[in-house]
Each structure stands twice: as C-alpha cells, then as structure tokens.
C-alpha cells in the first residue's frame, strides 16, 4: 500500500501504515533508526533527491509526533534516484540495536 498521496509528493496519505513501526519503536530499545527513502531510475535526478529527502523527513516527523520515541536517535536519508528501489519509490526504516546492549541469550538444543 502506498503511504504517500501521489507519486511526486511527500504528503502522507495512509499514515496508519506507519503505526506498527511506531508501536515497535516505543517497545524496543534501539541505538539508531534510519528512515531511508528511494526513487526509481525514471525522472529528474535533482527532483528525486529533494523528494526522497522530504519523504524521509515526513515519515520521521510522523513517528516522533505520534509515538514516544527518542527523536535524537531517528535520522533520515534521501537517496534520490537509485536502482536499489527496483524502479519503484520506497521507504525503508532500519532499526539498529544499542551499542552496549547485552547479546541475546542462546540455548543449545539436543542431548548431552
């Protein structure tokens, strides 16, 4: 589902699509979150760079405004035109763990 109103705008249309992310961030200790926006290979490179920067910022602002998260740990990046997006505009929200968080406990299975 598309979260933006039109292909060439940074206006949110389906904000509720971000609610699961916001709830996850409220409940998870994280070191850093990066909101990354991409454009496909078609279109004007400069316009796509500006658009992806704006889209990443709009998503960040929505998360900060509507959820209890540490806004100093949420960064944005607009990649502009890239073949990574497979010819589609997209948003990735990357969550990195805290640097000093203890490693997850592992239990061995099997017979001893």
The pLDDT assigned to 84 comes to 62
Write down the pTM of the prediction. Answer: 0.82
Q: Is residue 4 part of a domain?
A: no
How many domains does the chain fold into? 1
Give the three-class secondary structure for 111.
Answer: coil
Q: Is residue 77 part of a domain?
A: yes
Q: Is residue 23 part of a domain?
A: no
Token pair, residue 27, equals 């409940």
pLDDT digits (tens, 9 = 90+) for 33-61: 999 999 988 888 999 999 999 999 999 99
Q: Is residue 59 part of a domain?
A: yes
The pLDDT assigned to 109 comes to 37
Q: Is residue 78 part of a domain?
A: yes
Q: Is residue 61 part of a domain?
A: yes
Q: Is residue 90 part of a domain?
A: yes
Tell me the residue range of the domain where 69 lies.
Answer: 39-99
- Average pLDDT for residues 87-96, to the nearest whole number? 86
Are 78 and 52 in contact by the 8 Å Cβ rule? The answer is yes
């Amino acid at each position: 589902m598309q979260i933006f109103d039109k292909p060439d705008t940074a206006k949110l249309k389906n904000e509720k699509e971000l609610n699961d992310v916001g709830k996850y961030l409220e409940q998870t200790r994280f070191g850093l979150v990066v909101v990354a926006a991409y454009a496909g290979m078609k279109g004007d490179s400069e316009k796509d760079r500006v658009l992806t920067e704006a889209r990443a910022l709009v998503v960040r602002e929505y998360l900060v405004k509507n959820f209890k998260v540490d806004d100093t740990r949420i960064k944005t990046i607009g990649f502009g035109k890239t073949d990574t997006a497979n010819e589609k505009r997209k948003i990735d929200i990357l969550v990195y763990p805290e640097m000093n968080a203890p490693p997850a406990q592992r239990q061995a299975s099997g017979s001893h």
